Structure 1
Amino acid sequence: MRPGIAFTSKKILQYAVILLGFGMNLTDILAKGRQSLPIIISTISTSLIVSFLLYKLLHMDAKVSTLIGVGSSICGGSAIAATAPVIEADDEEIAQSISVIFLFNVIAALVFPALGSMLHLSNEGFGLFAGTAVNDTSSVTATASAWDGIHGSNTLNAATIVKLTRTLAIIPITLALAIYRAGKKEEALEEHGAKFSLKQVFPMFVLFFILASVVTTVFSLPAAVTDPLKTLSKFFIVMAMAAIGLNTHIVKLVKTGGKPIFMGFCCWVAIAAVSLVIQSFIGIL
């Protein structure tokens, strides 16, 4: 079973990211998500800075720290799926990062609607809050739906658009990581007199993700075409997560989980706080 598990946890995960691009109509997302860009840029920067500082202070594993920082700042499991092959993370590192992200997704879906009510957020403000402060798309949907159920509003669409706008950050971040890794590998190979090839480290699946987004945008693909592809993407992610689970040592995961959970908590709190502060600053709350 090992070859099949390895193929599913690596290649199928990349195919899932490519298919994710068919849910990205760039024109619609950027037109509707423009208002949220200052908040998105601020929250992404905050999460990456917090994860980097804690990586240095707590002497954490670099790959786990990167995955938690990217997963917290962009779009949870999808961002981890896109980043893991670029930094060559193993299954246990992916599993640990996914577990941390999902833990705070669940807490956010349960806590944020009540927090929004306590802070007297407007429907528009909560849509931005849910879209920028909750990690995974499914959890954003759950959080916004809970708010709508309580307040009889319609924040779900706005929160989803903000979330999809955040997802576009997968492109520059994965490419930047690929260039950084390429530089490191080139130095290492040159020390041993070996030749370096950019193709060895460049994430070609990210280019196909961009191409899928461009095709969806240029040809305005209808929902009848894109919805099955998005469903297949989700199914591929489930397959990959199952394969990663089959390669994960659960006892080791639990024993080494303290620092990653603390990092995930710090990123989660920092993102939520920055989202609310920026909203207040630009007068949306």
Structure 2
Amino acid sequence: MISPQESAVPRRKRKTNAFILGVGLTLILSLLAKGLSLLPFLSIMGQLVLAIILGMIYRASVGVPQYIMPGVAFSNKKLLRFGIILLGMRLNLTDIANAGPKVIVLAMVNITVTIFIVYGLARMLKVDRTMSLMTACGTGICGAAAVIAIAPLIKAKEQETAVSAATVAILGTLFTLIYVTIYPFLGLTPAAYGAFAGGTLHEVAHAIAAAAPGGKEAVDMSVIVKLTRVALLVPVSLIVGYWASRKQEDKTVQKNKVQIPWFVFGFLLMSGVNSLGIIPHEVATQIVNLSYILMAMAMAGLGLNVDFAFFRRNGGKPFVAGLLGSIVLSVMGFALVHVLGFM
């Protein structure tokens, strides 16, 4: 007769194997997304949005067994935070400081106005508060990375997070193509065009791709401005965490419990380490690559939780709000480049 202790061992082993399968599936999709992002057109979309799409396609075509979902959930929750922390190695605070106050002003104005406009438009279109806020932060700050950083603070569901992240990433890709097309007609110097691209586009990959026609000077400026917006993810996350805690239904219990996004402090710490120059550039680059793999695993996990029917039902209105907000961001960013003297 098998004792309860002995029978529990195979159960634990099966759970462990299922967990590994779930994490492994997100890793495979992440690496596949990385490979696809090296192709000419797909490079504009980037690894993160490709991972979401691959996850959605896998679920629609193959299906996802329920028993591996704990591993998938581990990827899109725990590994996500590690990925965001390691992303801090991409940010050099010294470069931002050397670029001068006008870069910070450009980033702060663009982020603040865009978040309020996109959030207001989304609420007017009757998009729920959670998706409205994620779409607004993704459009204003740094695309899918901002969406998945904000999501746990407002207790967003996986499907809502995936739709918001995909919406912002698709908009960023669309505007990148538009920028490349209209660049010859804008009359901007390479530095000004780089500031315009970095100050208004959604992902780091979008800013780099759009600035490429302006040459190295444009790309360098776009990265500095874009990473300044990424750095502002820290204070925005703190504000959103506090705001979300005040929105708890039972305010008599929750009023003194502010949800602090501790992982953004890890992000800032890694940025500080990178700024000190104590880690070789090659090592820092590999750490950033690892961060994108972890975040892409999280994106794949989100995609595995979304079906296309949900996306069709719930993605239209956030897309419209993000589109209108992106247009406002582009017009405002173009004007600010002139006003702040980037010419």
TM-score (norm 1): 0.90
Tell me the residue number matched to 1:126.
193
Alignment of 1:242 onto 2:304: no
The separation in 2 between residues aligned to 1:104 and 1:24, in whole angstroms, is 24
Moved more, 172-181 or 102-111: 102-111
Contact 1:19–1:212 (8 Å) recurs in 2: yes
What amino acid maps onto 2:250 in structure 1?
A: A
What amino acid maps onto 1:253 in structure 2?
A: F
Change (3 A) 1:31 1:71: same
Q: Deviations over 1:97-125 (max 9, x none)?
A: 11111111211221102222112111111
Tell me the residue number matched to 1:279.
337
Q: Of the two structures, which has the highest relative contact order with CA contacts closer than 8 Å and spacing of 6 or more?
A: 1
Tell me the residue number matched to 2:134.
67
Contact 2:192–2:218 (8 Å) recurs in 1: no
Tell me the residue number matched to 1:112.
179
Give the match's secondary structure for 1:155.
helix
Tell me the residue number matched to 2:264.
206
The separation in 2 between residues aligned to 1:219 and 1:147, in whole angstroms, is 29
Alignment of 1:135 onto 2:135: no
Alignment of 1:166 onto 2:229: yes
Q: Which of 287, 299, 319 is matched with 1:261 structurally?
A: 319
What amino acid maps onto 2:120 in structure 1?
A: L
Alpha-carbon deviation of 1:3?
Answer: 0.3
Change (3 A) 1:222 1:198: farther
Alpha-carbon deviation of 1:255?
Answer: 2.0
Tell me the residue number matched to 2:167.
100
Tell me the residue number matched to 2:238.
175
Moved more, 32-41 or 8-17: 32-41
The separation in 2 between residues aligned to 1:282 and 1:26, in whole angstroms, is 21
> Rg larger in 1 or in 2?
2
Give the match's secondary structure for 2:250.
helix
What amino acid maps onto 2:308 in structure 1?
A: I
Contact 2:134–2:164 (8 Å) recurs in 1: yes
TM-score (norm 2): 0.76
Alignment coverage as a number of residue pairs: 276
Alpha-carbon deviation of 1:169?
Answer: 0.8
Instruction: Find runs of 4+ consecutive structure 1 residues off by over 6 angstroms.
Output: none
The separation in 2 between residues aligned to 1:284 and 1:184, in whole angstroms, is 40
Change (3 A) 1:214 1:244: same
Q: Which of 1, 7, 11 is matched with 2:78 structurally?
A: 11
Structure 1 stretches lacking a partner, 5+ long: none
What amino acid maps onto 2:243 in structure 1?
A: Y
The separation in 2 between residues aligned to 1:270 and 1:240, in whole angstroms, is 30
Contact 1:30–1:165 (8 Å) recurs in 2: no
Contact 1:20–1:233 (8 Å) recurs in 2: yes
The separation in 2 between residues aligned to 1:278 and 1:219, in whole angstroms, is 32
Give the match's secondary structure for 2:188.
coil
Alpha-carbon deviation of 1:242?
Answer: 0.7
The separation in 1 between residues aligned to 2:141 and 2:177, in whole angstroms, is 20
Tell me the residue number matched to 1:45.
112
The separation in 1 between residues aligned to 2:263 and 2:184, in whole angstroms, is 41
The separation in 2 between residues aligned to 1:234 and 1:76, in whole angstroms, is 13
Change (3 A) 1:56 1:108: closer
Alignment of 1:188 onto 2:246: no
The separation in 2 between residues aligned to 1:278 and 1:47, in whole angstroms, is 14
Give the match's secondary structure for 1:16.
helix
Structure 2 stretches lacking a partner, 5+ long: 1-67
Change (3 A) 1:57 1:37: same
The separation in 2 between residues aligned to 1:202 and 1:41, in whole angstroms, is 22
| Alpha-carbon RMSD | 1.9
The separation in 2 between residues aligned to 1:24 and 1:284, in whole angstroms, is 22
Q: Deviations over 1:17-37 (max 9, x none)?
A: 010112222122222253322
Change (3 A) 1:30 1:215: same
Change (3 A) 1:195 1:52: closer
